[in-house]
Amino acid sequence: MAALTEASDNHLMTLVQQGNRQAFDELYRRWSKPLFSFLLKRTGRRTYAEEALQETFLRVHRFASKYDPERPFRSWVFRIAANAGRDAWFPERNLLTLEVPEAMHNPVDPIIARDLLVKGLFRLRPEDRNVLLLELEGFTPTEIAHMRSQKPVTVRSRLARARTRLRTQLEGVYV
């Protein structure tokens, strides 16, 4: 088992392709927390994020044969998670608004501030929100472009638009 904990993600996926259950378990152990965090930001609901995480790993297993070990596992699994998160994200998302009571302007409470930011994220167009969340997870515009089969210039444009719209939505909320 010690050998698996030291193996690269790409090597583990090669083992998963050969039917190695322990390799799959190790990938789950490594990636479930960062993916859950990403999915929680993407869906806005713990239950949706949990559902999407489960679906992500079902798809990793189901499509293991399609994985190319020459490409980064991280990009591949986050792309699967982004799609699973989109699929788990129900129409309730349209109910989120950024109506801020006058007393809440310039919030000091970090919980209120986080709630306002999440609501602001959900008011973005899904494709803009997705690239912004991927950037927040540490992906570069070039990596995001590869994951989404887009040109880097398109991703940079979406990132700029997402930041501008989010900033406009939060204007006056923070000092």
Instruction: Read off the CATH number of the domain in which 20 is found.
Output: 1.10.1740.10
Residues 56-81 pLDDT 10s: 999 999 999 999 988 899 999 999 99
CA distance linking residue 132 with residue 142, whole number of Å: 13
Residues 12-63 pLDDT 10s: 999 999 999 999 999 999 999 999 999 988 888 888 899 899 999 999 999 9
Contact status, residue 120 vs residue 129, Cβ threshold 8 Å: no
112 and 85 both lie in a single domain: no
Domain extent, residue 58, equals: 1-92
pTM of the predicted model, to two decimals? 0.62
69 and 140 both lie in a single domain: no
Chosen domain end from 92, 116, 133: 92
What's the length of the chain? 175
**pLDDT class of 130 with cuts at 50, 70, 90:** confident
Alpha-carbon distances of 102 from 86, 105, 174, rounded to whole Å: 33, 6, 12
